[in-house]
A and B are shown apart, each in its own frame.
Chain A
Amino acid sequence: MENKIICVPGQRLCQVDATHTQGKGTYKRQDYIYSSVAGIVNVDDSNKISVIEVLSKDKTIVPAPGDIVTAMVTTINQDMCKCLITSVCGHELNETYRSSLRKQDVRTKEIDKIDMLQCFRPGDIILARILPMTEAHTFKLTTAENELGVVIACSEYGFPMIPISWTEMQCTKTNVIETRKVAKIVQEKKTAENV
């Protein structure tokens, strides 16, 4: 605790120049970096430019375009499914945000052959990326990447399922095979999502 700098909102931290840039928990005003939250100042020197950031006890994060989010499927129809975003970039949210996933954003190939019901079911937990905002208040999601799609799902009988291919998952109890748009889980992400 000793040799750490504690800062409060509005505290001037350092000047912006070629070697210093602003990180999380800070804002820039007239060539200076100021802190925007109360916390401990941290300087990230891992790259060429040192990033000045403030580590606070909690974060205020809202989903933004480009973020990878965890969402739960709530309703499905022929053209789209509605989801609730529950965490952003590995940070768990206290509030849930509404979002929707349209049919054409499910995968990259054979878009016209997609049947929404063959890809998702209500209750599935998916990884998705937020598309740029087109509408005022709902986030648009996409799973058109190999790493995105269903990560946790239960079969019709209510038992957890494990992925067996990129379109199928198998129930651990009844061995029933159901179809899903399965995410290809990269090892690193797996540990992050299983917390």
Chain B
Amino acid sequence: MNSIKLNIQETYIKEYLALQKRSDGRGLTGFRDASLNINSIHTADGSSVIKIGNTAVVCGIKAELGIPKAESPDVGYLLVNVELPSLCYKKIRPGIPCDEAMETTSFLNEVCNNCKILDLQQLCICVDKLVWILSCDIYCLNYDGSVLDACFVALLSALQTVKLPEVKYDKETDEINVIEDYKFLKLNCLPVASTFGVFNDKYILADPTEEEEQLCISKFSVVTDGNLLFSLHKPGGNYIKDNQIQNCVKYAKIRAKTVHELIKSVQ
């Protein structure tokens, strides 16, 4: 968007917000409708496609066998990577991942480690010799704001579809036997992220679209599973008031419940 257009958009959005409405018809704290689809990619061991409004994200998980880290021989790997390919947004150029992709990746990994989304011990097959490596790759297909929210839902629902076969490992002969007895993974919790944009200090917009994200000077995310708060991330930008944060946490809690229902409904 060029600066002239941005200027026009800003006045336009201001007039809307004065009426407590947004250009797509939502209220200030309304989230967009989401739809979820699982197991649509057959080459992956687990997959899901989520659409929140126009934002679309696909997550595919590949399970592989490998050697564990020397410092933690009894845990497997859960590797989460977010890709923002150049096809999803005009501002992204092909080549190395952009800053935002890396930032989202590290944030996701941090939260996954913090809240022990998965007991990594259950990925261990033989201590110090063989563990499962779950590579979760999240590709954004359409960048229309609040990609982080979509990434969380995609990751969780994809993890829930992963089925791992039983693996027998012979310590003496190094022989690996795969028995086709598939088991689901056990997830400890389902963290749900909710992104809010801060516009003009005054307005808090839930689940901003790309257009709104451009105009909001700062945005922040609340990660919660409905009971526990896992992360509240507000990287700089405009100030917000204490009670505004309190309200947002409340909205995030309700959001988490609806997302849980959505995930449950597709299984």
Contacts and interface: CB of A to CB of B under 8 A. Distances in A.
- A contacting B, Cβ–Cβ less than 8 Å: yes
Contacts of A92: 5
A154 to B, nearest CB: 10
B2 interface: yes
Interface residues of B, number: 5
Contacts of A96: 2
A72 B3 contact: yes
B23 to A, nearest CB: 17
A72 B8 CA distance: 14
A86 B4 contact: yes
Contacts of B264: none
Contacts of A70: 4
A171 interface: no
A86 B4 CA distance: 8
Contacts of B42: none
A125 B4 CA distance: 8
Contacts, number: 15
B90 interface: yes
A94 interface: yes
A72 B4 CA distance: 8
Interface in A12-35: none
A84 interface: yes
Contacts of B4: 70, 72, 86, 125
Interface string B1-38: 01111000000000000000000000000000000000
Q: How large is the interface on A (under 10, 10 to 19, 20 to 34, 35 or more residues)?
A: 10 to 19
Most buried by A among B3, B4, B5: B4
Nearest to A195: B8
B12 to A, nearest CB: 12
Interface in A73-96: 84, 86, 92-96
A129 B32 CA distance: 44
Contacts of A72: 2-4
Contacts of B5: 86, 92
B76 to A, nearest CB: 45
B42 to A, nearest CB: 33
A70 B3 CA distance: 12
Nearest to A86: B2
Contacts of A86: 2-5
A94 B90 CA distance: 10
Nearest to A85: B2
Interface in B159-187: none
Nearest to A70: B4
A96 B1 CA distance: 9
Contacts of B2: 72, 84, 86, 93, 96
A40 B89 CA distance: 29
A124 to B, nearest CB: 11
A125 B90 CA distance: 24
A86 B3 CA distance: 9
A93 B5 CA distance: 10
15 contacts: A70-B4, A72-B2, A72-B3, A72-B4, A84-B2, A86-B2, A86-B3, A86-B4, A86-B5, A92-B5, A93-B2, A94-B90, A95-B90, A96-B2, A125-B4
Given A72-B2, A86-B2, A95-B90, 4 more contacts: A70-B4, A72-B4, A92-B5, A93-B2
Interface of B: 2-5, 90
4 residue pairs, one from A and one from B, having the closest CB atoms: A86-B2, A96-B2, A86-B4, A72-B4
